Amino acid sequence: MNTLQELIQKGKSLLKEFPHPHLETKLLLLKCFDLSEEEFFASKDKSVSRSQERCFNRLISRRLAGVPLPYLTGIKEFWSIPLRVSPGVLIPRPETELLVEKTIELSKGGEEIIVDLGTGCGNIAVSLAQELPKARIFATDTSRKALRLARLNANLQAVSGVTIVRGSLFSPLERLHLRKECDFIVSNPPYVSQAEWEKLSRETRDHEPRGSLVAGETGLEVIEQVIQGALPYLKPGGYLIIEMGYNQRDAVQSIFDACSSWEKVKFFNDLAGVDRAAAARSLVFS
């Protein structure tokens, strides 16, 4: 029988082509062993059971076949919150934390209405609910799988004030009578073009949902619909905060410019220094 330490060595060696073999091995072992990190470090010399070893071998094989690590562990940290993730729903990316950060900066912390359009696993909605406990948050998506996961994450994090609704773009807001009621509409919509999709990693293309990333031929199709459709639902002076592709700044600026009811658009860089989010305020007097 192998010890835990021997499995760590085996995992590190098998995963040596991945950027963080030690960390990935540890996370896969934690998944199979149901131990806390402290218990894990204290148990390195203990023998592992056959079923634990089988579980580890199975996860390592799937990882070597390219399955993203968070789909194997079932967890992805976002805004320091361990969120549940599962195949069929996009894995949250660190750059999306920018949307959360900017919304918090612009919020007055009161009983504001915030919409998270295309919520996925609920990462933006749950983070905002933790940070802005007085807000009423509406999280929407077209995907039933995504909404189930968002509901699970909201429950596991015990956040209140999050309502999860299914529907495309603004149709749920119409049903909820949110015309001119929203202080913020926040969205990380699909914004990848079909040509860009072909250049994404195999790991993403083979395992993550294409419809969460690809907007259409140009990549701007959904962003355009969100910018054009948001105004009727924002209060005068309400904000649209939207994530976009690294090369979409000029196009996004033009889409906002085509409508005279937006104040000046601000762009924000992600940690890699590229324009990643845009925020625009609807005119108070239009």
Ligand X SMILES: C[S@@+](CC[C@H](N)C(=O)[O-])C[C@H]1O[C@@H](n2cnc3c(N)ncnc32)[C@H](O)[C@@H]1O
Interface residues toward ligand X, by CB under 6 A? 90, 92, 96, 118-120, 123-124, 140-143, 146, 168-169, 188-190, 211-213
Q: How far is the CB of 39 from ligand X (least distance, A)?
A: 31
Q: Which is nearer to ligand X, 221 or 263 (CB)?
A: 221
For ligand X, which is the closer residue by CB, 174 or 257?
174
Question: Which CB atom, from 27 or from 98, has the smaller least distance to ligand X?
Answer: 98
> Min. distance of Cβ 48 from ligand X in angstroms?
35
Choice between 35 and 176, CB closer to ligand X: 176
Contact indicator for 34, 49 with CB cutoff of 8 Å: no
Annotate 45-59 with b (16+ C-beta within 10 A) or e (fewer): eeebeeebbebbbeb
- Please report which helix (H) or strand (E) contains residue 276, including its range: strand 275-281
CB of 12 to ligand X, least distance (A): 30
On whether the CB atoms of residues 243 and 99 are closer than 8 A, the answer is: yes
For the CB of residue 143, give the shortest distance to ligand X in the complex, in Å.
4
In Å, what is the CA distance from 139 to each residue of 105, 116, 119, 154? 20, 5, 6, 10
Other beta carbons within 10 Å of 95: 17
Q: State both tokens at 283.
A: 């005119």
